[in-house]
Amino acid sequence: MLSRFWAVVAALLAALMFTSSSFGQNGPKGWPDAKENRRAIAEKDKKPEPRHSIAGLWANTREGNQAKGVQLHPNDGKPENQPPYTPYGLQLYKSHKALEGFDAVGPAYTNDPRVKCEPLGLPRYNHYDLGIRIYQDENSVAILYQYDNRWRIIWTDGRPLPKLLDGGVEINGDYQEQRWMGYSVGKWVDDTTLQVQTVGTMPEDRVWLDNTGRPISEQVHITETFRRLDNDTLEWSEVLDDPKIFTKPWKTLDITMRAQDPRVDILTRYCSPKEIETYNKSYGDSVSGK
Amino acid sequence: MRNKLGVIFAFAVGLMASIPLSAHHGAAAIYDSQTISLKGTVKSWLWSNPHCLLTFDVKGEDGKVVEWVAETQAPSTIYSMGFRKDSFKPGDEVTVTLQPAKNERPNGRLLSAVLADGTKIGNARGEGGRGGRGGDEAN
């Protein structure tokens, strides 16, 4: 009788283990194989855009890199792509020795803060290696940038945009310091369009606008518009209003991103000072003629 | 073990493929647009970010040996072009096609290489296939 009891117990345990094991395999099997940046979905296959959501993994393989400068205006020397610089903005630009653009220098001579692994800051993250992952809840939208694993928060809970001060911002009557990502608030202007305002970013001696050495200052007011065209397509634009650097607002981004498999695990890309140093000692200095 | 590592790395490259890659520096400022081919002997192969470096000796017609160093893009970019961590070993005979440095030092942007067994890796543009770079000058 006793042995029969234990036999039943063993059978139950075995069944339980089997069941647990089965549950464990119910999720995705293995690591999803990333495909080439997804093409536009055919009209007939389009799914409607969700309301008030820009969450997902988004990419645009070619335009996301922006190696030649901000996506809408590559720094190629053409007049139409020149920023509307103030005299100070132009002076600042000329002091920057960039690794990209039509007047680029060799690796040994750059003063790009990026090669010291300084944070790029906003808005430069918007012009570097897009690929982004977006999460959101009822209070905020979080954007995760691939390069150096950086992230920012956009508050969508109705709080006002901080008042821009000299060297910081004012929130609830108190001074708050400048930040690499600034202070962002977002508002849904319709079911599928989120407009985001950002102020309080880092000053011009700490950050650049893009890889080609264009400057940006802490006086910039950034306006971004995210528009979900359908379930798999996200438009993202950016306008910079920086009276210290530009004589008028300058549109720098108008990119269409495709939804990627959300289960794809983005490869981390940390900036390593040691790797940069090794590269320069082994090669960068020589190829620069130093 | 090596196969497992290969699979893991292939995954990493695959995952990278949907996401654009970073640019460290432009090519136009420092390299000729013309390419040359050099036959030499491998001294070292540094598989590292932001660029991989191949060091090899080239014997000139006068018998003088010159040490060349050529750079590629980052491992995650060149993997799709056939490059591997063990593609080159010291002593290997290799024929390298590169864009030489404008300053005439023995440096260059490595586009492709033919290994001793005839295997060719890389391509004429020196750019990754899947998820490659976002501009001709981006390296």
Token pair 């196969």 is found at B3
Tell me whether residues B48 and A146 touch, CB distance under 8 A: no
- Asked if residue A123 has a cis previous peptide bond (ω within 30° of 0), the answer is yes
Question: CB within 8 A of A75, min separation 6: which ones?
Answer: A68, A69, A81, A98, A100, A101, A102, A103, A210, A212, A213, A214
Q: Cα B67 vs. chain centroid, distance in angstroms?
A: 16
Weakly modelled stretches of chain B, pLDDT under 70: 1-23, 126-139
Tokens encoding B26: 């432009």
A197: pLDDT strictly greater than 90: yes
pLDDT of residue B14: 34
Q: Is B17 on the interface with A (CB under 8 A)?
A: yes
Entry pTM: 0.81
Strands A132-136 and A56-59: antiparallel
pLDDT of residue A269: 75
What are the CA-CA distances from residue B111 to residues A2, A181, A274, B100 (Å)?
Answer: 76, 37, 25, 11
- Closest residue of B to A277, CA-based? B50
| Among B8, B13, B24, the residue to mutate for chain A (most A Cβ within 10 A) | B24
| Among A279, A280, A285, A286, the residue to mutate for chain B (most B Cβ within 10 A) | A279
Tokens encoding A243: 């009276």
B43 and B96 Cβ atoms separated by less than 8 Å: no
pLDDT more than 70, % of chain A: 87
Angle made by CA atoms B128, B133, B138, in degrees to the nearest 5: 115
pLDDT more than 90, % of chain A: 67
Q: Which residue has the higher pLDDT, A72 or B24?
A: A72
For residue A81, how many C-alpha atoms fall within 13 Å in the half-sphere facing its CB?
16
d(CA B66, CA A83): 45
Strands (E), B9-125: 36-46, 53-59, 65-71, 93-100, 107-114, 120-122
Over residues A225-250, mean pLDDT:
97
Over residues A119-123, mean pLDDT:
97
B contact residues 53-72, partner A, Cβ 8 Å cutoff: 53, 69, 71
A58 and A226 Cβ atoms separated by less than 8 Å: no
Q: Which residue has the higher pLDDT, B4 or A174?
A: A174
d(CA A138, CA A55): 12
Residue A17's pLDDT band (cuts 50, 70, 90): very low
Adjacent-strand bridge partners of B36: B98
A289: pLDDT strictly greater than 90: no
pLDDT of residue B133: 31
Question: CB within 8 A of A130, min separation 6: which ones?
Answer: A58, A59, A60, A63, A64, A65, A66, A145, A146, A255, A257, B20
pLDDT, mean over chain A: 88
* Nearest residue to A211 via CA among B134, B46, B47: B134
